[in-house]
Structure 1
Amino acid sequence: MSQDVHVVGVGMIPFTKPGANQPYPQMAAHATNAALKDAGIGYELVQQAYVGYVYGDSTAGQRALYEVGMTGIPVVNVNNNCSTGSTALFLARQAVASGAADCVLALGFEHMSPGALGAVFNDRPSPFDHFEQITDELVGNEQVPLALRYFGGAGLAHMQQYGTQMSTFAKIRAKASRHASNNPVALFRTVVTEDEVMAAPVMWPGVMTRLMACPPTCGAAAAIICSPRFAERHGLDRSVRIKAQAMTTDRAITFESRDMREVVGFSMAQEAAQKVYDAAGVGPQDIDVVELHDCFAHNELISYEALGLCPVGGAEKFVVDGDNTYGGKVVTNPSGGLLSKGHPLGATGLAQCTELVQQLRGTADKRQVEGARLALQHNLGLGGACVVTLYERV
């Protein structure tokens, strides 16, 4: 059994730097209440909830939702690294599509600490032990934080194979800042130029400056997912539906290829995108707007190719020609992306959902992509999982 799935309500709070945020229950409650208000329903109509976060204790999802209401519904806690928010969305969509529920909440939040990401449990095998081993072998530079070595190493592999210039990553970051300047909930709204990105403090000589990396961020975002009959019964906005969605995890190529682009999920993203295109009967040329996982400018460039937005090896030309922004082939990250909006891990996928639903409704104000009908979301978590979602304006 399968039925259409509509996104009838979205909400998020402005993302902040660690230390400037409210505690996670308050952040999550504000985002949930915003999504309920946007949908025009009360929490008592929600039948299930999938709540995502990475850094938090067990059942923090219940604690967060107790601030909204205590209605006895199933609450499932979700952790899939940086793809946590879209994994919660994936599960919510499945529940509605299968007929198991008519109205479901997907919620994501993160209360992060300053500085680079690190392990919490050091007395057991790390989920990243294979990733660390191959990265040590291919990249070295153990004095550089691991996430930078992952994605910087992937960017370096592209530079070495195709002659891609470091300035191209700076162009991507500058584009993100221009988009974010029109987003009232973005963390960084100051426009920076390519030259300013290149002049920022160096994190990896010849590969990355500080402005090419997203900041640790706190925040929350949520979406209300429902069936057509529920939407009709309650008079809800059915203008946006999830047309197709796929989740993939790593295959052997991740490590066997000995290519840092594969280590950070190139084929995982490529496979998820192709499944979505096949299920929807469309191609990348049909997409109007994209929110993709730009945790580093390097990953945005690699993701253009993985998602089929340009040919493999053609990402630098895609950027230089301006095909990744307004007036080009497809507007990527109109929100400003993770680079400017911020990246609270559990909330990121649902913040992407919020932006794309607003785009398809035509309510994105100065960020609006005119005539947007198909919107693609790409959310990646190393360790690994990738979720690609296609939204359609009905």
Structure 2
Amino acid sequence: MVRRALDWWSEHPQLADALLAAAACTFLLVEVPYSDHTIASPGSLPVTFWGDLLAYASLAVRRRYPVPVLALVWTLWLAGGRWDIWAEWNASWAELSTPTALMLVLYTGGRWTSSRWPVVFLAGTLLPALVTVARMWAGPVLPEPPDDLYVVSFVTCAAAWGLGRLRRSEAEAVARAAARAEESKAQVALAEERIRIARELHDIVAHNVSAMVIQSTGAGVALLNDDKAEARAAVEAIGHVGRTALAELRMLLGVLREGPTLPQPGIEAIRELTEWLPIDVRLRVEGPTRPAPPDVGLAAYRIVQEALTNTLKHAGKDANAEVTLRYADDGLHIQVTDDGVGGVGGTERGRAGAFGHGLIGMRERAEALGGTAQGGPLPGGGFGVEVTLPWE
């Protein structure tokens, strides 16, 4: 209950200060004037009472204007002549007045402003001690000064200001820690974004350039064999792949400059991807289709693209591949298999080593969405990749 009240007080500073000022003024108006039965009417109230009322009323804006409020209350306290703050704190509640407000605004000055003026006014609370010393030097006809020369009062005010300054230091330390935490989060997010962009760039360039290189090789062979139809098909495929690469790069640059301007490729783009590759790819879709979130669709497209690129690079044009998209309740299940061997030295072991980096990229994409990815050589020859991407 107390914690909730303190939280509310911190979240509504202006309203809290207004309520504090209203309560203090109400207390002063109800208790103080008529606690002395010799006071018959408000017109007979002493001037110090109105100074006390003004000091308490100024508490309503103590955090908004800490230095002006402190200057006002300090001036009223000095002019009122009731300088022994410690003695007043030890008196009855009905006698608490401007000195109480002075301690509160000294705390406010230490807590809510970095100005040096609160220190000046704190030092100014020693002025009564100086006046007392001057009276002592003036001669014995003046009243005897108090024994402590108001030093305890000064210490009380210094404690109020010091408590406020301590609270300010704690708040600044918490703010610095929060800022460092936010900066650390921003750096992590920036690093993740760089990795994501690098992955996108790799997928775009590696796949399309590999496809163009292989198609150009096929076109050269077709021209040597005077097979114009196959050469024309290879050149058309090179043009299509090149335009696709340019479009994807332009889209990626647009995202970096101004944010998303064009839709990212998704599951529906996988069919076109399989149709323009120079290898025989069969696409199967199982289960009732459903709309996929953009990040899931992009990850599915890039994973299939990476798997087929590795098939194209390491298994050769004569390999056959199959892509299976299975829509299930728990997510989208992707399987890409081929019957080629290829690889370094023409062995599955060599191809597994060459395929490792691509599988790492697929696994990173899947794990970023809470999914899984695995791949490796198949028992009957060839390679397979299995990926699960949850819908949410």
When the two structures are superposed, what TM-score results if normalisation uses the length of structure 2?
Answer: 0.19
Please tell me whether Structure 1 or Structure 2 has the larger radius of gyration of its CA atoms. 2
Higher strand share: 1
**Higher normalized helix content (fraction of residues):** 2
